[in-house]
């Protein structure tokens, strides 16, 4: 063993792609030799992880996420970065080497004109909805104009945010190029990167912990003891900086309008053209838009949505029993509506903040009844990914449109493929082509 396990795992988060690849190969060799215990895949999975190409609360790269998923015995892993597909190739390759079921996506924000006066799932922003495409099979896609636009708009928005926040944090003001851009490999910086940069600048600027705490109490207008209580928890302090300076009511916040974000139909067309699946994201059913959930689902499906995403932990892992009861009821209602519309349900824990669980607790009483629905979604997305990558026979492909008379029939097929390809690498003899019938694709899996 050339390097300790911990060193190799840290190397997986290097911004040097060659260093990440080298570390992954060494870790796989250690697992194959029995030096690192790697359990067989279970029935837990996380299909919604942000990597360091947008923001991960632990700084995890796509390769680190794949490795940890395999090391923890997960059935499947998926990444979903904001506004970029930069990690797709690396993640798919890592999961293949690790024999792990896989899907890769992108998250962004879209404008839904029909809900232009109602908040959906982006707090305080009527008509704006977090939205996803899932099942991408490569980083380089045919239509790059939208991706360039999304990344540039996001970066311009973050630059403006820094300029505004600098006016109140002038003692520790940031230079965008020097202090912010280097925090992520390809320049796709977020509010969370900015918070981390301000928090570090304060520690570097002031001479003592007491002085730093006093500064934050003064500029954030909170009690000194409140800052002191979270000072050693950097993620908690960064979250407070964000809430006080960058969210609604803070100097950095500027309320967006619909023109700042692409319309849902444009994003869905891009996602489908790239061979992926347009996906509606659901928060918790509490906003005016999500209270009209049937209308919202019908609207987004008319615009091309063919799957839905949920972050379950937000909807059941809640201390207040009354809030928990309400949210769990809404969660079950939404899942039932998605099932009635035959929409695959994709779930995960994001990992875009420190402290979030690596994987959902599917054994929790609130989750256990829903696990079969979530598992079906994981199988469908994995099957879509390998079929789309191998032969262009994905979930929304012309081949699928030709051969399935109904969505339930299609779902059953993709679920079977996802369940049978349990090594994540299909059998060597399994070479489906668009001339194959669905039954022959399935029978060749059993050959």
Domain match, 60 and 122 both: yes
Q: Is residue 258 part of a domain?
A: no
Q: Is residue 427 part of a domain?
A: no
Q: Is residue 440 part of a domain?
A: no
Domain match, 127 and 223 both: no
**pLDDT for 447:** 60
Domain match, 287 and 403 both: yes
Q: Is residue 160 part of a domain?
A: no
Domain match, 221 and 211 both: yes
Chosen domain end from 195, 218, 245: 245
Nearest alpha-carbon partner for 147 in 274, 59, 257, 259: 274
Structure tokens of 157? 């928005």
**pLDDT for 76:** 97
Domain match, 325 and 410 both: yes
Q: Is residue 432 part of a domain?
A: no
Q: Is residue 283 part of a domain?
A: yes
**pLDDT for 256:** 77
Q: Is residue 149 part of a domain?
A: no
Domain match, 234 and 349 both: no
Cα separation of 362 and 312, whole Å? Answer: 10
For residue 127, CA distances in Å to 60, 192, 229, 256 come to: 32, 23, 38, 10
Domain match, 116 and 9 both: no
Domain match, 123 and 272 both: yes
Domain match, 301 and 415 both: yes
**pLDDT for 427:** 63
Structural domain boundaries, residue 218: 168-245
Whose structure tokens read 């302090």? Answer: 237
Domain match, 284 and 407 both: yes
Domain match, 116 and 189 both: no
Q: What is the mean pLDDT of each run of 10 residues along the chain (447 residues)?
A: 89 98 97 94 97 95 98 97 96 95 96 96 93 96 82 91 96 96 92 96 96 97 96 94 94 82 95 97 97 97 98 95 96 98 98 92 97 98 96 97 97 96 66 94 82
Handedness of CA 161, 188, 130, 46 (dihedral sign): negative
Domain match, 222 and 86 both: no
Count of structural domains within the chain = 3
Write the CATH number for 72: 3.20.20.140
Q: Is residue 7 part of a domain?
A: yes
């Amino acid at each position: 063993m050339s390097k300790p396990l911990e060193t190799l795992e840290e190397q997986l988060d290097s911004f040097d792609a060659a260093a990440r690849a080298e570390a992954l190969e060494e870790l796989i060799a250690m697992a194959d030799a029995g030096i690192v215990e790697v359990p067989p895949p279970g029935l837990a999975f996380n299909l919604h992880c942000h990597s360091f190409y947008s923001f991960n609360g632990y700084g995890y790269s796509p390769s680190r996420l794949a490795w940890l998923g395999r090391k923890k015995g997960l059935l499947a892993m998926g990444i979903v970065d904001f506004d970029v597909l930069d990690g797709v190739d690396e993640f798919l390759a890592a999961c293949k080497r690790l024999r792990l079921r896989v899907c890769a996506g992108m998250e962004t924000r879209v404008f839904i004109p029909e809900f232009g006066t109602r908040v959906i799932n982006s707090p305080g922003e009527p008509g704006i909805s977090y939205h996803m495409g899932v099942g991408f099979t490569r980083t380089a896609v045919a239509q790059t104009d939208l991706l360039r636009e999304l990344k540039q708009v996001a970066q311009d928005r973050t630059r403006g945010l820094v300029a505004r926040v600098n006016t109140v944090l002038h003692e520790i003001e940031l230079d965008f190029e020097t202090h912010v851009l280097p925090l992520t490999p390809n320049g796709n910086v977020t509010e969370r990167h900015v918070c981390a940069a301000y928090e570090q600048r304060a520690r570097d600027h002031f001479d003592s912990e007491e002085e730093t705490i006093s500064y934050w109490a003064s500029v954030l207008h909170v009690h000194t003891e409140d800052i002191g209580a979270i000072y050693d928890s950097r993620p908690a302090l960064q979250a407070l900086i964000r809430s006080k300076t960058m969210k609604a009511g803070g100097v950095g916040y500027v309320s967006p309008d619909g023109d700042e974000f692409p319309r849902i139909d444009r994003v869905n067309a891009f996602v489908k053209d790239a061979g992926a699946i347009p996906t509606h994201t659901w928060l918790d059913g509490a906003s005016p838009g999500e209270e009209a959930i049937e209308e919202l689902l019908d609207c987004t499906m008319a615009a091309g949505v063919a799957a839905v995403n949920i972050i379950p932990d937000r909807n059941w892992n809640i201390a207040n029993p009354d809030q928990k009861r309400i949210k769990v009821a809404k969660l079950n209602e939404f899942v039932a509506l998605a099932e009635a519309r035959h929409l695959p349900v994709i779930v995960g824990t994001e990992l875009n903040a420190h402290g979030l669980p690596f994987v959902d607790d599917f054994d929790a009483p609130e989750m256990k009844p829903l696990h079969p629905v979530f598992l079906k979604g994981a199988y469908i997305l994995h099957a879509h990914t390998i079929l789309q990558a191998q032969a262009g026979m994905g979930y929304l492909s012309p081949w699928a449109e030709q051969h399935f008379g109904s969505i339930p029939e299609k779902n059953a097929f993709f679920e079977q493929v996802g369940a049978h390809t349990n090594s994540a690498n299909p059998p060597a003899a399994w070479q489906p082509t668009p001339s194959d019938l669905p039954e022959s694709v399935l029978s060749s899996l059993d050959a």
